[in-house]
């Protein structure tokens, strides 16, 4: 069983084809807790939560190759907040 790591993504990716923000997470990083460090012009985090992402959850979404790395493209709206 793989341990859960924590990762921070600087900003989500804007997908103009579907008009939504997505994150790209490499399959080898799963499972993980994800933070999105994107801020508004006042310095407030747009997504001030941690999102747990399992391999099973990510497998529902398409793969995009970034050079030699397979990224799962997950819409930010589909991510579930971590309840602590």
Whole-number pLDDT of residue 33: 95
Q: What confidence tier does 6 reach under pLDDT thresholds 50, 70, 90?
A: very high
Stated pTM of the model: 0.85
70 has which bridge partners? Answer: 65
Q: What is the pLDDT of residues 24-76, one digit of tens each?
A: 999 999 999 999 999 999 999 999 989 999 999 999 999 999 999 999 999 99
Distance between CA atoms of residues 77 and 3, nearest Å: 25
pLDDT bracket for residue 83 (50, 70, 90): low
Annotated domain spans of the chain: 5-78
Residue 63 to residue 80: CA distance in whole angstroms: 20
Task: Look at the chain and count its residues.
Answer: 84
């Amino acid at each position: 069983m793989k341990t859960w790591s924590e990762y921070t993504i600087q900003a989500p990716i804007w997908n103009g084809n579907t008009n939504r923000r997505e994150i790209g997470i490499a399959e080898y990083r799963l499972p993980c807790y994800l933070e999105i460090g994107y801020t508004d012009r006042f310095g407030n985090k747009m997504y001030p939560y941690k999102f747990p992402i399992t391999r099973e959850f990510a497998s529902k979404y398409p793969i995009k190759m970034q050079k030699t790395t397979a990224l799962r493209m997950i819409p930010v709206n589909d991510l579930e907040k971590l309840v602590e």
